[in-house]
Structure 1
Amino acid sequence: MEDLLTELPPPSRFFLEDLNNFTLPSSPLPCPFLVFSTPNVKKPLRPTLLIVAMSSPSLYFFHHLSSKTLVGTLVLPEIPFSGNCIEPSLRDKSCNIYALNDPDNLVLIVSVQCSIAAERSHAVAKLLISEQIVPERVLILDSVQSRNFRGKLSPDEASAFKLETSLERKGLDDGCGDSSLLKNSDYLPSGSVIDGFSAALLGRCQMKKIKGTLCISWPVLSTTVKSLIASVLLKDVLSGLDYSIDGDNDEEYLKLDQIKNHPLDSELYT
């Protein structure tokens, strides 16, 4: 007598890939778009520097920067506005665009407080660079996961590394001295992996022959890396900027929801 529990089931009349023929394809997502506070603003905008902040310490820095003006927002249709505050908040899932109050230069800051899906990265990068915004220079601020880093990272020691486009690395500003944007930062070790939105932005800069720098910080969230990134920005990027935080609320910083956008680092990699 046959064993009904161990007998192989009869083959299906369909292959697994054929079953997908009976499911309706999902409708494509609407394209992301920019909305500016002044609809009649002359476009494209041509900032001397475009800063795209994604890491928690950089978001905290620019959120508390008083000398900035909200000029627009990047709208991703897949991210709902429900739960966002009326006034800009670090806990919002938003992507606001600010202009630094500098009479001599136009510096734009894009505060990316939501996770950009990998399949949307190139579309958003194209929207921010060389369509409605044509920057002379780009600085991207992101964090690195230890599993993507070629080497050993101490969880108690803050670090910052950089990657540059070929034009930025050549230093063709005026032909004298080191014109690199982050003069005092080491290069990211060879073999380390950068992917997602920050890689799409840097790749866009390389393709459009724009001077671009990617600043990668470690760890994702700590008071030491917050101080390090603030020091790098004030010393190398926004020198002369008057910046101060009343009370320096570390508790607010350590409760940032941005930590939920990053996979947890295992001790296996640290």
Structure 2
Amino acid sequence: MQMTRITEQASLYDHLETKSVEELTQYINQEDAKVAAAIKVALPQINVLIEQIIAKLAAGGRMFYIGAGSGGRLSVLDVIELPTTYGIEKGRVNVVLAGGVAQLAEALEECEDDVNEAWTKLSEAQVSPMDIVIGISASGSTPFVLEGLKKCRANQITTGCIVSNPDSGIAAQADFPVEVITGPEFITGSTRMKCGTAQKMIFDMISTTTMIRLGRVEGNSMVNVKLINDKILDRAVLMLMDKIGLTDYEEAKQGLLKYGSVKEAMENLSSKSI
């Protein structure tokens, strides 16, 4: 089946250089408003993918995003927050980025055509059938991602993807594809806009839902947050006070520092004593 490159279709707007600031921001806002609706259509696919991720992580496996360009870089931003926010160990959720995560700020777009790098890096990480690998590509055809997923499937590794065109080659290589069709971009072909916004929203859904289902959240609170700075420490102290009914800030703080996390402190403290 021929892939329809909706992401490359002409913008619905033209003569942009003649528009005022007010007109431009209004039009961009109009286009952005379409993203959540497109994600809503794809929720059944997203839910199935998340269930697979949860199952893999719960069984001791890992998750890997593989991506290039804006989507790959956005996945890095999501993943690097998880150990601090949810207290999971580094290496459970990972990104293989074209050109390397260390080159995140360089925007090495030429690296997306490398057909060997993704599998080479996954192999170095000793990827196995215990893991799940998710390809990120607005076009659905990025060689770096496509060839990486092909290698994964050939090695019995579960695959997923997030793409923005229907019937793509990458979706065909994914056991659990997610197709979020956001339509033509405001600037023709500039998939850092609506496609990038959709990817960020889906990354949030995946990581947040997965961490909740894996028990890293209680109520609506980040009870496993790492105490890495004064702002987070203060937030955690107030959280602990609310959770177990302590009224003395310093008492709660000392208990929190003793046990290292809100969750551990909750399990070891009562409202009466440390």
Q: What is the TM-score with the length of structure 2 in the denominator? A: 0.27
Q: Which has the higher helix share?
A: 2
Of Structure 1 and Structure 2, which has the larger fraction of its residues in strand? Answer: 1
Q: TM-score when scaled to structure 1?
A: 0.27
